[in-house]
């Protein structure tokens, strides 16, 4: 998990599709953008949830001329991603993880655009544990960088699928009680225990803080 978080613990204001994302290259320092790019370059795959595509139309690629793009992976239970999404261009391999309830014609559209398909679970939220195993075994994705958003991080943490959390604390405030936080949906308490972590690395990068945490209990 890699996340850039504001001083007030947000990752983005709540936006509608088409509204620009203020948390990007114009706001985030060049050193941090370079760090982000190097984390992408180091991964076999980069994964996001559908909302990152709908809101940001992310390419999930490396900066131009900086090496071979990792595989791009999108969680899209009901196959709602628009076929024109930039993540479906042929610049890099793409895998869409859908559920068994995804309309077959929409899944076929992704295939026709060259995407690999993993089918896991039912409904909007795909079943992550078998999907991660299939990514590893069928597609050779061993090192996965999950960029978000908050809904995806919530699901991955709930299933004990992260071995590291990389947090970049950024020197700005987003504000807003409805803004997106790094881990969304329901709190882990009172239904379960809150997951705990050890700090294993901390770097000061100008006005930014780059932290790496590992789970106190081994991951699944």
Ligand X SMILES: NC(=O)c1ccc[n+]([C@@H]2O[C@H](COP(=O)([O-])OP(=O)(O)OC[C@H]3O[C@@H](n4cnc5c(N)ncnc54)[C@H](OP(=O)(O)O)[C@@H]3O)[C@@H](O)[C@H]2O)c1
Q: Please report which helix (H) or strand (E) contains residue 212, including its range.
A: strand 208-215
In angstroms, rounded to a whole number, what is the distance separating the alpha carbons of residues 43 and 146?
10
Residue 13: left (phi > 0), alpha (psi -120 to 50), or beta? beta
In angstroms, rounded to a whole number, what is the distance separating the alpha carbons of residues 45 and 75?
13
- Provide the terminal-to-terminal Cα distance of the chain, rounded to the nearest Å: 15
Residue 55 makes contact with ligand X by CB under 6 A: yes
Q: Where are the alpha helices (DSSP H) in the chain?
A: 30-41, 50-56, 104-112, 128-139, 150-158
Minimum CB–partner distance for residue 158 and ligand X (Å): 9
Given the rule CB under 6 A, which of 84-92, 110-118, 120-128, 198-206 is the region that contacts ligand X? 120-128
Binding mask 28-47 for ligand X (x = CB under 6 A): --------------------
Residue 95 makes contact with ligand X by CB under 6 A: no
In angstroms, rounded to a whole number, what is the distance separating the alpha carbons of residues 142 and 57?
25
Residue 184 makes contact with ligand X by CB under 6 A: yes
Among 35, 46, 52, 135, binds ligand X (CB under 6 A): 52
Size of site (CB under 6 A) for ligand X? 31
Among 32, 48, 87, 167, binds ligand X (CB under 6 A): 48
Residue 100 · residue 80 · CB < 8 Å: no
Among 40, 51, 85, 165, binds ligand X (CB under 6 A): 51
Which tokens is 197 given?
Answer: 């972590």
Given the rule CB under 6 A, which of 100-108, 125-133, 200-208, 212-220 is the region that contacts ligand X? 125-133
Interface positions with ligand X (CB under 6 A): 3-4, 11-12, 15, 21, 23, 48-52, 55-56, 75, 77-78, 80, 124-126, 128, 147-152, 155, 180, 184
């Amino acid at each position: 998990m890699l996340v850039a978080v504001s001083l007030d613990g947000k990752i983005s204001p709540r936006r509608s599709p088409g509204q620009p994302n203020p948390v990007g290259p114009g706001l985030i320092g060049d050193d941090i953008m370079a760090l982000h790019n190097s984390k992408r370059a180091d991964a076999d795959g980069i994964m996001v949830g559908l909302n990152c595509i709908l809101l940001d139309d992310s390419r999930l690629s490396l900066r131009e001329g900086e090496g071979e793009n990792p595989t791009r992976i999108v969680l899209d239970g009901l196959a709602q991603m628009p076929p024109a999404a930039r993540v479906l261009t042929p610049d890099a391999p793409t895998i869409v993880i859908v559920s068994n309830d995804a309309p077959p014609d929409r899944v076929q559209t992704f295939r026709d655009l060259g995407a690999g398909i993993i089918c896991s679970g039912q409904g909007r939220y795909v079943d992550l544990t078998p999907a991660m195993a299939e990514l590893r075994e069928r597609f050779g994705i061993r090192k996965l960088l999950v960029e978000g958003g908050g809904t995806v991080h919530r699901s991955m943490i709930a299933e004990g699928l992260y071995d590291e959390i990389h947090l970049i604390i950024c020197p700005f405030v987003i504000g807003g009680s409805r803004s997106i936080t790094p881990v969304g949906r329901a709190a882990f308490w009172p239904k379960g225990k809150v997951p705990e972590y050890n700090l294993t690395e901390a770097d000061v990068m100008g006005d930014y803080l780059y932290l790496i945490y590992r789970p106190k209990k081994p991951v699944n």
